[in-house]
Structure formats: C-alpha cells, structure tokens
Amino acid sequence: MNRLLNKFMPSEYVKNVYHITPDYLKDNGIKGIITDLDNTLVEWDRPDATPKLATWLQQMKEAGIQVTIVSNNKELRVKSFADPLGIPFIFQARKPMGRAFRRALKMMDVKKEQVVVIGDQLLTDIFGGNRNGFHTILVVPVASSDGFFTRFNRRIERRIMKHFKQKGLLTWEEEA
C-alpha cells in the first residue's frame, strides 16, 4: 500500500467510544486515552456530555485510565465541555501536528505505547496519531453534520476510505 496512505489507516475502528471498554484497554496495556471532542465524544454542536458519555468517562477513571481531550476547537468550547467532567484538555491543538499529542502524553505521564488516540477524522486524529507513533482508533462520527472546515476534510476522507474499502482494508459496514 502507498506509504503516505498508510498514515491514514487506523490501527482499529469501532462504531463509537462505547465499544472501547476499560477491560479491553487494560488487557492491552493502555493507561491513557487522547481523544478528540467534536463528533467523537458528542455531536459538534452539543455543549455538554450525555449521561452515557459521563458514565463511560467515569468507568475509565475508575479503571485508572486517564483521558485527555485534544481538540482543534477554541478554548471556550473545549473548556466548557471538559471542566464540569474534570477532564484535562488541550484546545487549538493544530492536529495533525505533533505538539499537542506530545503535550498530552506529558500531562498524563505515561509512555506512548500505553496510549490510544481516538477520533472521528482520518486527516486530523488518525493521521496525527499515526505519524506520532500512537495506536489509533477511528470511530464513526456521532453526528452526520459537521462544522465548516470539517466538511472540507470529509470530502478528502471519503476518497481515502473508498481506497481502503476497495483494497479490502476497511470493512466499515460490518462493524457499524
């Protein structure tokens, strides 16, 4: 496979974050999660966590798995979502650049091999995680609508996904 396209291939993919359990992560030596916010944890226009998401985050915390939100969004959006949950965050992360990923790793004080990157976008979350040496998990976007810049990215992602499907590398329908 083309080496550049390989950087967009997630290590794994699931329908949503609820398919990622503390037991699964612990069994794989994972102690930290770097996760995107918008359309990964909640819809991009939902201000607060759903009760189901709050429970999932609490389960991670109880299992000793740290969660850090790394978002390209503005401080107000990320802070108002993360603060009530007591979750550390990095805003205006400039994903797929590596600085925010390295900063999150330092904040959690864990090794790269002990962290997964979860996101809904190939061009930011998965590409950023892969090029920085993390195990990446792609989730189906929570909402079918996107913000302005994400709509542009989705067009490119559809072409990459089509390539992966044609090569038999991604069987999204079977997972969803």
**How many other CB atoms are there within 10 angstroms of residue 131's CB atom?**
15
Residue 160 is predicted with a pLDDT of 83
**How many other CB atoms are there within 10 angstroms of residue 17's CB atom?**
23
16/2 Cα distance (integer angstroms) = 28
- Whether 42 shows a pLDDT value over 90: the answer reads yes
Residue 175 is predicted with a pLDDT of 39
Residue 142 is predicted with a pLDDT of 86
Q: Which of 103-107, 150-154, 168-172 has the highest mean pLDDT?
A: 103-107
Q: Which residues make beta-bridge pairs with 69?
A: 35, 89
Domain of residue 117: give its range.
Answer: 3-175
Give Cβ neighbours of residue 112 (< 8 Å, ≥ 6 apart).
Answer: 105, 132, 133, 134
- Whether 39 shows a pLDDT value over 50: the answer reads yes
Residue 131 is predicted with a pLDDT of 93
- Our count of domains for the chain comes to 1
- Whether 17 shows a pLDDT value over 70: the answer reads yes
Which pLDDT tens digit goes with each residue over 51-63? 999 999 999 999 9
**Which is nearest to 101 in space by CA: 121, 85, 80, 125?**
125
Which pLDDT tens digit goes with each residue over 106-149? 999 999 999 999 999 999 999 999 999 999 999 988 876 666 66
Stated pTM of the model: 0.88
Which pLDDT tens digit goes with each residue over 53-102? 999 999 999 999 999 999 999 999 999 999 999 999 999 999 999 999 99
157/78 Cα distance (integer angstroms) = 24
**Of 152 and 14, more confident:** 14
CATH of the domain at 59: 3.40.50.1000
61/39 Cα distance (integer angstroms) = 21
